Structure 1
Amino acid sequence: MKAKHWICSFLLVLFCQSAFSQSGSELPDAAATSLVLSAQYSTAFGAHPSLYNGPEYVDYTKRYYKSIGHQFFLTSEKSEGSIYYNNHLFNNLKFTYDIAMDQVVLQQTTNPLTLRLVNEHVRSFTLAGRPFIRVVADSASSRALNTGYYEVLLDSTVQVLAKRYKRIQEQTSDGQLVINFLQKDAFFVKKGGVYYPANSRSAIIHLYNDHGKEIQKYIRANHLKFKTATYASDIIATTRYYLKLKHN
């Protein structure tokens, strides 16, 4: 209720300012006024407390003598993106995604405090053009995957997801404690409303066994090896071909 009251008050103030600024001339067109108010609202809402309300993010790598690699997705630098948080879509943000701890990390705009968003309040986000959703595992899906953020590689009647994460390894160097981040990926297919692990060529062929012969022929003809470097593109290509077969 407080958020709704704040929004209504904000829009009323903007409208009054816009109306009074037009004194001595014709009132602005309603559609144009709506666009102006929407743009002004979006700019102001970017710093709304509904976004910057998570607990502080503490960089745990500072406890170590040295870090080998980093804990973030793609880069340790903040990248542009959007976040659907607390039932609001926030665009034009710069943030990072700690894939070792599965946390979205955002810095305050007015001070150096870094926050981690409350996972339960994040529905989805896009970072550097890469879309992620938060999947909540239930009793049926928990055998295949855990609750967390998953990159959406293909979103159709069959959905392909990737879990991006880094395993933390502690080691000593010259008597000092060092933290090492090891990149790992896991892949999943959602078919018929059910999530399945899809981390090998044989698993994918089994998932698409209603067109098994055609799928195997397609994989051989296109020299899909399902190696680490090409796994994502190979599973996307195979799934798209499977969907084409299903729709024929």
Structure 2
Amino acid sequence: MSRQTAYRLRIILLFLASAEVLPCYTQSFRLSDITTLSPDKMLLNGRIWMNQYSKVTGTQFYLTDKYLKGSVYIKGHKYDDLDLRYDICNDELVLKYETWPVIYMNKELVDSFSVSFDRTHKIINTGINRSGMFGGYVNLLYSGPTSLYVKYTKKIYPLGDNGLKDLFVEKHYVFLKKNDKIVPVSNSKKFLKLLNDKKKEVRHFIKSKGYRVSSGKPETFVPILEFYDSLTN
């Protein structure tokens, strides 16, 4: 990136940081300009991030409040080895890039991203603007003939920390995609019911492997779906 381009982008970001009247999702470029942005400008297109929750117990971020190494796909361009945090309270991706101010990345540009923690966590942008349901950024746990998604969120409970401080509380919503339909999965019973066309085989598989499935641990659904899909291929 040239020094002149870097200087211009810094001015844009500083302007956005000072413009308090801007709506939460205002972007620094018009939508009509998105396809003309250079790869560097697409990566750094966003709003200045500021910590609004220093007095709340816990963190608004997914997995950890530390930056995680990851990759981002933006309009077909892949950017590797980035320092990322996923804010699941506001459903925003936070980027720390070299000496630049920390920013919320432009969600209208981001196709998907992944971060490394205990494993690689892949998050896709559904392009659907909904809160607390299947929309915005969702975690893709499994992809095959069926797919498994989890929407992670955090809410603030006033004085939830022993009546002294506000508290972040995490929730998640599980969704199964089957036959091009996305269905919420509220519990393991609902999950197994969605696989009823192979009920006998699925139940025998679970019993033989000693698996315990729970919507509280969505990852426990993955081996069941892998087996189910192997029957339908």
TM-score (norm 2): 0.74
SS in 2 for 1:67: coil
Give the equivalent residue in structure 2 for 1:106.
Answer: 95
State the Cα distance separating 1:136 from its structure 2 match: 2.8
State the Cα distance separating 1:233 from its structure 2 match: 3.0
State the Cα distance separating 1:86 from its structure 2 match: 4.1
Give the conservation status (yes or no) of the 8 Å contact 1:133–1:152: yes
- Which one of the candidate residues 86, 100, 115 is aligned to 2:103? 115
CA-to-aligned-CA distance 1:175-210 (integer Å, 9 cap, x gap): 96x231112122111111111112311111121111
Within a 5 Å distance, the mapping from 1:34-183 to structure 2 comes to: 48-62=40-54, 66-111=55-100, 113-128=101-116, 129-137=120-128, 145-171=133-159, 178-183=165-170
User: Quick one: which amino acid aligns to residue 237 of structure 1?
Assistant: P
Q: Distance in 2 between matches of 1:76 and 1:151?
A: 18
Moved more, 92-101 or 66-75: 66-75
CA-to-aligned-CA distance 1:6-38 (integer Å, 9 cap, x gap): xxxx9xxxxxxxxxxxxxxxxxxxxxxxxxxxx
Give the conservation status (yes or no) of the 8 Å contact 1:171–1:179: yes
State the Cα distance separating 1:118 from its structure 2 match: 1.5
TM-score (norm 1): 0.69
Within a 5 Å distance, the mapping from 1:213-232 to structure 2 comes to: 213-227=200-214, 231-232=217-218
Q: Distance in 1 between matches of 2:207 and 2:71?
A: 39
Specify which structure has the higher proportion of helix: 1
Percent identity among equivalent residues? 24
Give the equivalent residue in structure 1 for 2:226.
Answer: 240
State the Cα distance separating 1:224 from its structure 2 match: 3.0
Q: Distance in 2 between matches of 1:55 and 1:79?
A: 20
Q: Which runs of 5+ in 2 are unaligned?
A: 3-37
Count of residue pairs the alignment pairs up: 194
State the Cα distance separating 1:96 from its structure 2 match: 0.6
Q: Distance in 2 between matches of 1:173 and 1:226?
A: 31
Q: Which runs of 5+ in 1 are unaligned?
A: 1-9, 11-45
* RMSD value, Cα: 2.8
Whichever of the two has the greater Rg, that structure is: 1
State the Cα distance separating 1:145 from its structure 2 match: 3.9
